[in-house]
Amino acid sequence: MFDLSKLLKSIHLSRLSFYFLIFLILLSFSITFYLMLPNNDLVKDPRRLQFFLLADVIFVILLISIIIRQIILILVRRRKSYDESRLYIKFVNLFAAMALGPAIGLVIITSLFFNLELRTWYGDAVRDAVVNSNIVAKNYENEIQAEIVSDTQLIMREILKVSQNNEVNIQSIRVALSEFINLRTISSIYIFNTEGNIYLSLKDPDNVNFSLPSNEIFKVVNQNRVYIFQLDKNSITAYKKINFLNDVYMQVNRNLNTNIWDHISATKEAFEIYTMKEEESSGIQITYSMIFVLFSICFILVAILIGFNLASNLSKPITNLIKSANKISEGNFDAKVSESDQFQEIKVLLSSYNKMISEIENKQNELLSKSQEDEEKRIFIEAILSLLTIGVISLDKNFNILLYNKTLTKLFRSTKTFKINDNFLYYFPEWKKIFENFETSKKVLLNFQYDFILFDDQRNFNIRIIKEINDNKIEGYVVALDDTTSLILAEKHAAWSDIARKIAHEVKNPLTPIKLSAERIEKKFLDAKTDKEDISLLTKTISRQVDDIGKLVDEFSSFARMPEAEIKLDNLSKCLEDAYLLYFNTRKDIKLNLIKPENDIYIHFDSLQISRCFSNLIKNAIEAVEKIPNPAVEVLMATDAKNIKIEIKDNGVGIDDKMLSKIFEPYFTTKTKGTGLGLSIVKRIIEDHGGKIKIEKNKNMAGTTSLINFEYNE
């Protein structure tokens, strides 16, 4: 099948041939223009100019053929691949518009100015000026001729006066004419015959300016006429026959004003040229218009052809870039763009593009390798997570599920079906408030417990949430859920066993004196030895031991049934100060000191419970220094950007290192009458408020220090 595009592509010009053709066209039209300049002597034969005009026409036809070829190729490309030719067509339209717009405007304006200028030159004003100038020149010439004719007549009159009987008296004529010539502007006078014999010469003794008339001139003057001619540009000459003398003629020369006569001659010549050109003006206008149109078409076609070439040079690398980018998007990194036969700037762009492809390929290989490593790590992590007995969920910053292990489904006994990208709070809407508060807080870790009923079985879950922070921005969360039901039950059983053992021990201690007192009372009654003082002492002992048992029961009740905290924003500084003042006003025997910030500190807490903690710790410090000289207790409060620190320091006897690890255990005490539940209650209250407490020995002095730390949630 005939392929038009292949045929047209086979007929093409190389870049060198294209620029050589443009050079020949410009050279041909430049020579033609130069040859058309006025008064150009290089071309005497108009056929040579016609030869160059014919060459120009051929070049124009050749340009039109090349442009038609380009247009056909554009149409073929557009039909086959519109996406690739679209950019090329846009460039062609742009360059064609840039070439045609100014060129057509210039042609129109120049044509108007040319016609206007031609009309101006051949208009009435110029024509009248030229004609009037010619009339003035002719009148001046006629005036000069009339004056020299008048001179010849006056000379004949003078000769007639001195001539007798038609005889020539040369001496008399010389005298008469000498006086006459001095009065006129005559340069020389000659009296001669037809043989050329000069009878008389005035003002030219050497007869330099004498010229013997021709036979034609003699015929004219023999008719009693004056023959006038211009011997040279500086003088005018007149011949006249002296009628009353036989074969006697005279030549009268008169000098002219050279400048005036040159202008007269130029005016006559200009009039003749103007008259001739005026007759030819229509033809000149048509000829020059056609040549100008030919020139304009040529240069417009050259500009369009250059535009086609530039459009091709610009669109081709960009099209190649688009093709390369499409192939690269499919994963073919070998689709690099050729950098040859391009502009330097385009070559730099393509070079940078190819380098970018190489870098992208290297980065992709690195990413693939990294991705493979990450995939292996993910599989490894999933394997580890699958072995964990706790459920782990990874969330993004919007609480959408990214990853979870199989244990999570097992914990909820398949009552909840988790899906990737689902919102975690969709499965636990009751936790929405907890998560939102945690998101806005400065805490990194949140721990709480929640009870679920799964198939009529109440299960206790311990939930721990950790923030993933990068550059002070939350990127996600990790949630760990652990079913602590069995552990809590075991701990409760162990705790109750331990508590029962300790309560039994504590209750057994007062039961012995109660039993002994009861036995002694019974013995006294049996022996009939009733001593009121002894009976009273024994009953008081029984009563005191019963009170101790009651106190023990009250402390145990307080520890076991801690009331729910009423959290609200309150003044922590005032709470500490109130607890301090309670002992400062009553224990003047001890040096008490309070150091706190000037500005009050506000956080969310239960003022009743925290006040109880402060009072308990200050009371313990006071009891530790009661029996030593120079007792002192210092209460210190300090803050930084994140934490509130409270220290209660005493200079008492201190505590043994072995006992520090058991100091917060229930029913452990170093006091003779202590229950061992005070510090346990304090620790529980502090931790319920998100704080931490520890007791340590002083480093530089005797005694102990109670350290409390709260997160600053102002």
Position 529 scores a pLDDT of 63
Q: What is the mean pLDDT of the chain?
A: 75
Same domain, 72 and 101: yes
Residue 421 has pLDDT above 80, yes or no: yes
Same domain, 395 and 465: yes
Query: 207-243, pLDDT tens digit by residue?
Result: 888 888 888 888 888 888 888 887 676 778 888 888 8
Count of beta carbons in the 10 Å neighbourhood of residue 111:
15
How many domains in the chain? 5
- CATH number, position 188: 3.30.450.20
Residues 6+ apart with CB under 8 A from 540: none
Same domain, 511 and 479: no
Fill in the amino acid letter for 60.
Answer: V
- CATH number, position 616: 3.30.565.10
> Strands 249-255, 235-241: parallel, antiparallel or unpaired by DSSP?
antiparallel
In angstroms, how far is the first alpha carbon of the chain from the final one? 86
Residue 690 near residue 711, CB atoms below 8 Å: yes
Same domain, 479 and 501: no
pLDDT greater at residue 698 or residue 59: 698
Query: 456-497, pLDDT tens digit by residue?
Result: 777 888 889 998 888 888 889 999 888 887 776 676 666 666
> Strands 591-595, 632-639: parallel, antiparallel or unpaired by DSSP?
parallel
* Within a domain: 442: yes
Would you state the structure tokens that stand for residue 41, as one six-digit string?
């002597």
pLDDT greater at residue 652 or residue 20: 652
Across the range 691-701, mean pLDDT stands at 86
Position 563 scores a pLDDT of 59
d(CA 178, CA 132): 40
Report the share of the chain in percent with pLDDT over 70.
65
Same domain, 245 and 311: no
* Within a domain: 646: yes
pLDDT greater at residue 397 or residue 535: 397
Residue 2 has pLDDT above 50, yes or no: no
> Strands 704-711, 643-650: parallel, antiparallel or unpaired by DSSP?
antiparallel
Element (H, E) at 5: helix 4-10
d(CA 159, CA 199): 13
The residue behind tokens 């500490």 is 576
| Three-state secondary-structure class, residue 328 | helix
Residue 246: give the domain boundaries. 150-256
Residues 6+ apart with CB under 8 A from 423: 398, 399, 400, 401
Same domain, 11 and 97: yes
Same domain, 499 and 476: no
Specify the pTM: 0.33
Q: Which of 137-151, 202-216, 571-585 has the lowest mean pLDDT?
A: 137-151
d(CA 175, CA 177): 6
Position 648 scores a pLDDT of 92
Element (H, E) at 556: helix 532-560
- CATH number, position 498: 1.10.287
Residues 6+ apart with CB under 8 A from 415: 454, 455
* Within a domain: 335: no
Domain boundary among 531, 559, 587: 559
Residue 508 has pLDDT above 90, yes or no: no
Position 1 scores a pLDDT of 40
Across the range 265-286, mean pLDDT stands at 64
| Three-state secondary-structure class, residue 476 | strand
Report the share of the chain in percent with pLDDT over 90.
5
Residue 645 has pLDDT above 90, yes or no: yes
* Within a domain: 438: yes
Structural Rg of the chain based on CA atoms: 67
Fill in the amino acid letter for 76.
Answer: V
Range of 22-26, 543-547, 555-559 with top mean pLDDT: 22-26
